[in-house]
Amino acid sequence: MIETNFWILLAAGLLGGGHCVGMCGGIVAALTLQQPAGAARWRVLAGYNLGRLASYTLIGALLGGLASAGLSLASSHPYQLALLALANLMLVAMGLYLAGFGQAIILLEKMGQPVWRRLQPLVGRLLPVRSIAGALAVGAVWGWLPCGLVYSASISALASGSAWHGAGLMLAFGLGTLPNLLLMGVFADALRRWMQQRPIRLAAGLGVAGIGIWRLTQLVSGTIS
């Protein structure tokens, strides 16, 4: 089940690129456009994304470890299945939002705003970025930005019942988001316009929702057990 979830979250991160560009595209463009074209720009872009992936991995490890130590989910299979169902319901909601149907996911993202308001000033202190270390730090803070896709992946990490598995699942999700944000750093305006086109948003959103529906069908049918 863990190996399958790894690929599922990788695909969800990739298909959710439109949301990633909307949430993280601004800071990525700002970071890279401050740098001269060439190797320096790529180093900053790589540093930012490594910091972001590190935060996702840490979140997964913390949630998986919490489940293992506090809730004993590794030996409580019904709870794991319930959390997986919730994670996939959130994927469906996120996919519908990306496709332009419904706004429910925005309410969920607002729940994380109190924490983000405390972290956001750190980004201002770290700008402008003048080194890879600075880019890593900005990315690490930005990894805690409230995001429905991240929340869905996080619940899967919690359901894993293991710090190692939780970290791996969140890393897989982060790797899925990587191509879009790397391209965003190079083709900022063009990529944003392309991903905001209605057919692209519809296809990507329905793809994310389809993953959630497929996994829910497996849960109901007992294929995932």
Q: Print pLDDT tens along the chain (225 aa).
A: 556 688 889 998 888 877 777 677 677 777 776 766 677 778 888 899 999 999 999 999 999 998 887 655 545 677 778 888 888 888 888 888 888 887 777 777 888 888 888 888 888 888 888 888 998 999 999 899 888 889 888 988 988 888 999 999 999 999 999 888 887 766 665 666 776 777 888 888 899 899 989 989 988 887 765
pLDDT reported for residue 80: 77
Q: How far apart are CA 71 and CA 87, in angstroms?
A: 17
Where exactly are the structural domains of the chain? 2-221
Which pLDDT score is estimated for 149? 84
Q: In angstroms, what CA-CA distances link 172 with 54, 115, 197?
A: 11, 24, 27
DSSP 102: -
Q: Helices 17-33 and 163-186: crossing angle, nearest 10°? A: 60
Residue 144: strand, helix, or coil: coil
Q: Check if the beta carbon of residue 140 is closer than 8 Å to that of residue 127.
A: no
pLDDT at 54: 97
For the whole prediction, is pTM greater than 0.75? yes
